Structure 1
Amino acid sequence: MLSRKQTPSFADHQERDTYAWFSQRAWVEIDLGALSYNVKQLVKFLSPCTQLMAVVKADAYGHGAVTVAKTVLEAGASWLGVATVPEGIQLREGGIKAPILILGAINTKEQIQAIAHWQLQPTLCGPKQALIFSNTLEAINYNSPIPVHIKLDTGMSRLGTNWQEAADFVQLVQRLPHLDIASIYSHLATADNPDATVMEKQHQRFEEAIAQIKSRGIKIPSLHLANSAATLADPRLHYDMVRAGLAIYGLYPAPHLQNEIKLQPVLQLKARVTYVKNIAEGTGVSYGHHFIANREMRLAVVGIGYADGVPRSLSGQMQVLLRGQRVQQIGAITMDQIMLDVSSIPDVQEGEIVTLLGEQGKEKITADDWADQLNTISWEILCGFKHRLPRVAIM
């Protein structure tokens, strides 16, 4: 584990003067050393001519967008990817000067004007959108062409023009005033699947579309296709840039990719014991009394709940770490609190730190563990922690 400077700072949206780390009932801890390490590992994994785009949409998957952006750029990322215009503006207001690609679709004049003003780079998915962009920039007398990124649909069936129509679309954009093609890209639907059949089909379609574009004498500045999974799975998919999201936060997109590169989880979820009490055999715990004590028990109340992003559906299923030991959560998870059976640690005191996700001693609980229990994905777990939880940056 990387050494840490035990002087925390607050990340992004938290008011540093209003909140003190040591008085928090619960918080999300962000290890910037691990974040930097992951980015450096990924950059090392790529060929020297391949750039790394760090995807920092959704508040950097819940880690704190501005803080994460500054760290990943210092560690070797060249680009940043966001989903929306406001996410891009937040980074610019935070002092980020690196190129920012907006991965979502934009169609309104107000958004286009904001893109031009804040020097963001949009994704174009079809002819209608391209015309709206060009006409809007013409109407506001915008002098310089803005860089745009052409997205092709090779099988995701979400955003992008059909790969078979790629050459016509690119040629149209090339002829429109105020637009300058910066890259052509697509997105893979099944890159995390050990069966590469569909991914290979998309790769082939991407190659065919690029060949059609080049056959018309069009020069393509940059190509990118790989997400985190594809980056780890197949170097042929790296092209000029890769777009890494989950991997920079230290999690693997799929178990079969864990041996490709060493990553360190960046996020830990912690909370404090707020109350300790004894309960008698036969006592019901929490709403609905779905848990009834089968013996005399020592119970600890912890100040975190589903309003903070701890899924209520984990009630009675999850364990947490206390003094390096696993202890069982009992009863229904409530809006602001959870209850633990701490009978095995009878001298637990109010104020002690509980780790819900992360490491204590030799024990570890990960977002993947929660995702497996809930039949979901680790992306959803990371993005689910609410903003009333301070993000505390640890170096």
Structure 2
Amino acid sequence: MLSWDHRPTLSTMGRERAWVEINHSHLTHNIQAIQALLAPGTDLMAVVKADAYGHGAVTIAQTALQAGATWLGVATIPEGIELREAGIQAPILLLGATNTVEQVRAIAHWQLQPTLCTEKQALIFAEVMDSATQPLPVHINVDTGMSRLGVAWQQALPLAQQIQRSPHLHLASLYSHFATADDSDLQTLHCQRDRFQQVIQTLGDHGIVPPMLHLANSAGTLVESSLHYNLVRVGLAIYGLYPAPHFRDSIALKPVLQVKARVTQVKTLPPHTGVSYGHRFVTQRETRLAVVGIGYADGVPRLLSNRMNVLLRGQFVPQIGAITMDQLMLDVTDLAEVHEGDVVTLLGHDQDASISADDWADTLGTISWEILCGFKHRLPRLSLSSPATATANPLTLS
């Protein structure tokens, strides 16, 4: 067995191949900029589902709470458990559906707050909680036009009444979710808001006044203050991206995530040489090729093959050939010098140039949410100015 005085660890190897950098100062800036749009008494929920949109749920949640967020939103029970195991005590709303006895017990044990959409759900929760010493806070999701989870807005009253009658459940909030808040045409948004208002009025007429109301996602938060109610649920915007281009003039956001990798080999190819699987790129001149240690298994979509640039020394460099599982290739012929170990920026800033998740999304005909969520866990998340503790090293593994 080999023995070294200094054994390699994840922290020392984190930037050897490829990694994601998370700028917590930018996250703080974004949250505070959004809060400046809110009326006094309106809280902010940081949506940290899907590993905080690929940014790293625990450290993002810690920073978001330090910056002023008061709630966290997750999609699944394991996502909530991860935050609790990290010592996070803030209220956590479970946005996804739960229907089994085992799920209810886990929710109660980990002090998560579930979403209820049906009377059957409410019955299951009430039966499981019948021996609890305190009622479980629950939230009603009303479907006002999203046609996803939620009780139909015309049928919200019976569900609210059932929760109200149960000594084991406490109605903590009423909420809904916009389907088209990122659209410049606000007709559907206003229809959903009006339906939400009608549900509030109907419940109030029957003596049910939810202590908290929330409707706005990132786009809804930026559209108009009348949509803010007691709480806004913000995901994409806290990560520094805009739900749609027309929001860019309403708030200054800073991208939190950068994706970087290293050149692992440089070689020279003669003209008429095929590159990568299928030879989807063939050199037309003597070409200097740089191999980079990142691929589609890390979250770089294979459909970007021959359709993307990266940044190297502040210059845009074309990617060539099919992107492979662990590697991709660049044409660096026009750069003066390129060496093994040089850092390539796939998303982020390098000198005066930048590439964003929106750029990839536009090329692929998709949305930036999907791009961010695609970066896999084998890419270490490296925190710029770690949220948990001060450190002499400004770049720490998160």
The TM-score with structure 1 as length reference comes to 0.94
AA matched with 2:80: G
* 1:308 counterpart = 2:298: yes
Instruction: Could you list the structure 1 runs, at least 4 aligned residues long, displaced by more than 6 angstroms after superposition.
Output: none
**1:81-120 mapped onto 2 (5 Å cutoff):** 81-120=73-112
AA matched with 1:83: A
> Alignment partner of 1:192: what SS?
coil
Partners of 1:330 and 1:105 in 2: CA distance = 43
Q: Once the 2 structures are TM-superposed, how far is the Cα of residue 227 of structure 1 from its aligned partner?
A: 0.1
Q: Once the 2 structures are TM-superposed, how far is the Cα of residue 21 of structure 1 from its aligned partner?
A: 5.0
Which of 371, 375, 390 in structure 2 is aligned with 1:381? 371
Which of 113, 116, 134 in structure 2 is aligned with 1:121? 113
Q: Once the 2 structures are TM-superposed, how far is the Cα of residue 259 of structure 1 from its aligned partner?
A: 1.0
Partners of 2:376 and 2:301 in 1: CA distance = 11
Alignment deviations for residues 206-231 of structure 1 (CA, whole Å, 9 cap, x no partner): 00111000001112201000000000
Map of 1:5 onto structure 2:
none
Map of 1:327 onto structure 2:
317
Q: Once the 2 structures are TM-superposed, how far is the Cα of residue 347 of structure 1 from its aligned partner?
A: 1.7
Q: Once the 2 structures are TM-superposed, how far is the Cα of residue 22 of structure 1 from its aligned partner?
A: 6.0
Please say if residues 291 and 328 of structure 2, whose CA atoms lie closer than 8 Å, have aligned partners that are also in contact.
yes
Please say if residues 298 and 346 of structure 1, whose CA atoms lie closer than 8 Å, have aligned partners that are also in contact.
no
AA matched with 1:196: L
Q: 1:76 to 1:280 in 2, by over 3 A?
A: same
Which of 33, 45, 54 in structure 2 is aligned with 1:41? 33
Map of 1:222 onto structure 2:
212
Partners of 2:177 and 2:37 in 1: CA distance = 20
Please say if residues 70 and 90 of structure 2, whose CA atoms lie closer than 8 Å, have aligned partners that are also in contact.
yes
CA RMSD in angstroms, aligned pairs only: 1.0
AA matched with 1:198: T
* 1:170 counterpart = 2:160: yes
How many residues are aligned here? 378
* 1:338 counterpart = 2:328: yes
* 1:362 counterpart = 2:362: no
Partners of 1:42 and 1:211 in 2: CA distance = 28
> Alignment partner of 1:80: what SS?
strand
Partners of 1:22 and 1:381 in 2: CA distance = 22
Partners of 1:337 and 1:60 in 2: CA distance = 25
Q: Once the 2 structures are TM-superposed, how far is the Cα of residue 18 of structure 1 from its aligned partner?
A: 2.9
Partners of 2:232 and 2:375 in 1: CA distance = 27
Q: Once the 2 structures are TM-superposed, how far is the Cα of residue 23 of structure 1 from its aligned partner?
A: 4.4
Q: 1:316 to 1:218 in 2, by over 3 A?
A: same
Q: Once the 2 structures are TM-superposed, how far is the Cα of residue 172 of structure 1 from its aligned partner?
A: 1.2
* 1:198 counterpart = 2:163: no
Partners of 2:281 and 2:204 in 1: CA distance = 65
* 1:152 counterpart = 2:122: no
Answer with 215-224 or 376-385: which moved more.
215-224
Q: Once the 2 structures are TM-superposed, how far is the Cα of residue 27 of structure 1 from its aligned partner?
A: 0.4
Which of 69, 78, 82 in structure 2 is aligned with 1:77? 69
Q: Percent identity?
A: 62
Map of 2:341 onto structure 1:
351
Which of 126, 129, 133 in structure 2 is aligned with 1:137? 129
Alignment deviations for residues 214-260 of structure 1 (CA, whole Å, 9 cap, x no partner): 00111220100000000001111000000000000000000111111
Alignment deviations for residues 42-99 of structure 1 (CA, whole Å, 9 cap, x no partner): 1111111100000000000000000000000000000000001110000000110000
AA matched with 1:264: K
Alignment deviations for residues 151-204 of structure 1 (CA, whole Å, 9 cap, x no partner): 101000111111111122211110013100000000010000000011110000
* 1:270 counterpart = 2:260: yes
Partners of 2:126 and 2:289 in 1: CA distance = 64
Q: Once the 2 structures are TM-superposed, how far is the Cα of residue 33 of structure 1 from its aligned partner?
A: 0.6
AA matched with 1:182: A
* 1:211 counterpart = 2:164: no
The TM-score with structure 2 as length reference comes to 0.94
Q: Once the 2 structures are TM-superposed, how far is the Cα of residue 350 of structure 1 from its aligned partner?
A: 0.2
What are the ranges of 5 or more consecutive residues in structure 2 without an aligned counterpart? 1-7, 386-398
Q: Once the 2 structures are TM-superposed, how far is the Cα of residue 17 of structure 1 from its aligned partner?
A: 3.8
AA matched with 2:325: M
Answer with 165-174 or 317-326: which moved more.
165-174
AA matched with 2:18: A
Which of 242, 267, 275 in structure 2 is aligned with 1:252? 242
